[in-house]
Chains A and B, each alone.
Chain A
Amino acid sequence: MKVKMNKKIIMIFAFVFIVLAINNVSAVFNNTGCCEETKNGFFCQNVQEQECKGVWEPTSCDSTSYCKAGTCYESIEGTCSSNTPRIVCNKVLNGSWSAERPAACNLGCCVLGDQAAFVSLVRCKRLSGMLGLQTIFNKNINNEVQCVLGVQNQDKGACVYELDFEDTCKFTTRAECTGVNGSVKGEFFKNKLCTDPELGTNCERTRDTICVPGKDEVYFRDSCGNAGNIYDASKIEDVEYWTNVKTKTDSCNSKSANSNSKTCGNCNYMLGSFCSDSKTAGTRPIYGSNICADLNCEKTANGQSYRHGESWCVYDDEGTTGKGDNAVGARFYKHICVNGEEILEQCADFKQEECIEDKIKTPYGDFNEAACRVNRWQDCLLQMNELDCKNTDKRDCLWKEDIKLNSSFEGTCVPKNTPGIKFWEGEDAKAICGQASVKCVVTFEEGLVSGEKCVKNCECLTTGWLNSRNDICKSLGDCGPKINWLGKIGYKTGYNYTIGKK
């Protein structure tokens, strides 16, 4: 007993708690079912019976007759809406619902002059009608690329026909000219322009230009309203240039965007220029009223210049990213350059999405593309080893070897970008942040003469240990001593560190 007393071991329990103050809100378990129409006016939602003003059944919506998803077909426009509940389709004028996709929704290639659309037959008729064209629909073409390529390869040229006892001309496709596609019927001259003197039509050269729907470039316009070759100020009096069709590569500065060029209308959408009204663009060309407007963005918010259509990631809130310590309320943003304007798209709040970006090699140089992608942090804490933690095919996590949340793990796997939490409500935050709470028992041995000597878990009393626990705490979410997106620290310390004796 005495020996025991002499070898009295003084146990000092150091309790370290890292806990956030959270309001308690009890979770309620609810029975939900499929509601035809809710009191808020939503169709086919999974809600409790008392929230429903229409028919309610305690089952999934796909099992009900009124909310079963199918295809809604509208017979006037010829459009099909898939995955549509029956009740929503029934409200549509001329709409008919079917569980299986109807044959009327089958797609084919619709030829619309020198353009094409991969649509249903009824839709093709509707589009042709709008453009005053005869319907040409090929149901045997079953992919969009083939459809578009087929149209691009059509012969084009001058179509000479008689109107009011006078020879006139339309620049069009062979099919349209020879009556296959119907609006005109005349003699077709492949790769010839209507202003070819040998054709002897009433179409003459002008000094005016036009933008052609579906084309990037500025074109000369003849007196009959047809598009000629690409606008080139030096060729305005060149008879040959007004006689034969020239390709884009044979036209002026074909490797350049020709943005705001007064002399060349060879715009290139991929390089960031597009045919536009010169008033809108702010620069006047030598001839005509159209110009290659500059669509690119100079000196954006991050100081760099981007091409039209390029997108990039921006994280301009305080704090860091990818280190498991994002600021509270911080968010990822995707910026996009559109028509010379920088617009932004927020990634989902609470860092449920993160922004990723990469460069694509194109014939015109690197093209930056960004996207908001789901932040896959959910199962980080469950990973027991580094290999699984760093598996970027499955998750976005960070491995911290020196700290262990669970003694059976080799380290701790935490989210690379910490998720936000609604810490001001509910029990979630308490449960999440509480995982970092730890009780460390430090053992002291009383010396024979005097004093105490730490023999076990002594590191728990060091500042380093406290900091590492805080790091773990912060990487779980909006927990612990964090700053907010403006860089301001919280009103509370964010943790409790208590040392007690036993």
Chain B
Amino acid sequence: MMNSNYYKCKKIMNIMDKRGEKGQLAIFVIIALVIVFVIAVIFLFPRLKIALSGGEFTPEKYLRSCIEPEIKPKMELLNKQGGYANPQGFLVLNETNGVEKIKYLCYTNEYYKTCTVQEAMIKTHYEQELNNLMKEKIKDCATSLKTAYEGRGYSVSQGAIKSSIDIVSSKMNVKFDVPMSVSKNQESNKYNGFTVEIRTEMYNLLILSQTIVEFENIYGDSEITTFMAYYPHLKIEKIKLSEGSKVYILSDIKTGESFRFASRSLSWPPGYRLQ
């Protein structure tokens, strides 16, 4: 009796072990499928990945993650070309990675004369230029925001998309002027637009560039040592070229951001200029 019970138990346990193995296998398969699905989602929807990784979903956070990777390279382009994407009236500089154009913000083609201002408001122009470069991306981001909301079960209505960029002290405000209403069940939200803040020290660099241009225009040169004494967090370099042009490079020591532009003012001809 005891033996028969023992064998029954053993048989049951064997059956259970086999079932357990099958169950474990099924669980592993399900986990593997979930992992594959998550990876696929992350790879197929990078924007969703960014939004998800940021925790709580907010339009500002979503838009920020959408534009930030694009805006930085655009800023770098403007920063090395004097605030212009396609400069006219530029200095050609041969660098190791090719020929670079740097906009003359103050220029005279003559000797012995101070330069004529070529860009009166550097910061305002920079904002406009950056906005023009980012316009399409900003539209894409606003449209994908709508899609992201819809993917979360919201019904969304979105108006015309406009944008502007405002650089202020220590940051840049990217304004999405896009009226939007979002609703789900009883919940409903209306937005006139969104503002995304991006940390940047461009404000000081652009305002100081304006001051340097004024000095170039009035005195024909500027004393960079004095500027650096006033702004301890800024580094200013002035490179003088043979034909009288100067390249100013302004850098923020903490962030590493830099802005450069060219000027040609009060230059002297080589020799006695007898001819």
Contacts and interface: CB of A to CB of B under 8 A. Distances in A.
A431 B124 contact: no
Contacts of B229: 309
A343 interface: yes
Secondary structure class of chain A's binding surface, majority of residues: mixed
A149 to B, nearest CB: 16
A477 B272 CA distance: 9
A428 B120 contact: no
A341 B224 CA distance: 15
B14 interface: no
A348 B124 contact: no
Nearest to A72: B120
A422 interface: yes
A95 B120 contact: yes
Interface in A390-430: 419-422, 426-429
A350 B270 CA distance: 6
Interface stretch (B64-72, B110-118, B145-153, B179-187): B110-118
Interface string A64-84: 000101001010110101111
Contacts of A348: 240, 244, 267-268
A274 B169 contact: no
Contacts of A81: 117, 120-121, 210, 214
B240 A346 contact: yes
A46 B124 contact: no
Contact residues of B: prevailing secondary structure: loop
A100 B256 CA distance: 40
B109 A45 contact: yes
Interface in B120-167: 120-121, 123-125, 128
Nearest to B125: A92
A44 B116 contact: yes
B121 A420 contact: no
B89 interface: yes
A366 to B, nearest CB: 16
A38 B89 CA distance: 9
A131 B170 CA distance: 11
Interface string A28-45: 000000000010111111
A94 interface: yes
Interface residues of A, number: 67
B261 interface: no
Contacts of A92: 120-121, 124-125
A94 B88 CA distance: 22
Contact of A46 (B87, B109, B121, B240): B109
Of residues B116, B119, B125, B237, which shows the largest number of chain A Cβ atoms within 10 Å of its Cβ?
B116
A27 B268 contact: no
**Of listed A280, A343, A477, residue having the most chain B CB within 10 A:** A343
Given A130-B168, A348-B244, A348-B267, A427 B275 contact: yes
Contacts of A46: 109-110
A131 B28 CA distance: 57
A477 B270 CA distance: 10
A295 B232 CA distance: 10
B104 interface: yes
Contact of A428 (B210, B217, B272): B272
A42 B117 contact: no
A79 B203 CA distance: 13
A432 B271 contact: yes
Q: Which 9 A-B pairs have the closest CB atoms?
A: A41-B88, A41-B89, A350-B270, A352-B268, A421-B271, A72-B120, A27-B275, A349-B242, A42-B89
26 contacts: A42-B89, A45-B107, A67-B116, A72-B120, A74-B121, A76-B124, A79-B123, A83-B217, A93-B121, A93-B128, A274-B232, A280-B254, A309-B228, A338-B235, A339-B235, A341-B235, A345-B239, A346-B239, A349-B240, A371-B223, A421-B271, A422-B271, A426-B275, A428-B272, A428-B273, A432-B274
Given A42-B118, A88-B117, A130-B168, 14 more contacts: A40-B88, A41-B90, A45-B109, A47-B109, A76-B124, A82-B214, A82-B218, A88-B118, A92-B120, A274-B232, A345-B224, A378-B272, A428-B270, A429-B271
Interface of A: 27, 38, 40-47, 61, 67, 69, 72, 74, 76-77, 79, 81-85, 88-89, 91-95, 130-131, 269, 274, 277, 280, 295, 309, 311, 336, 338-339, 341, 343, 345-350, 352-353, 369, 371, 374, 378, 419-422, 426-429, 431-432, 477
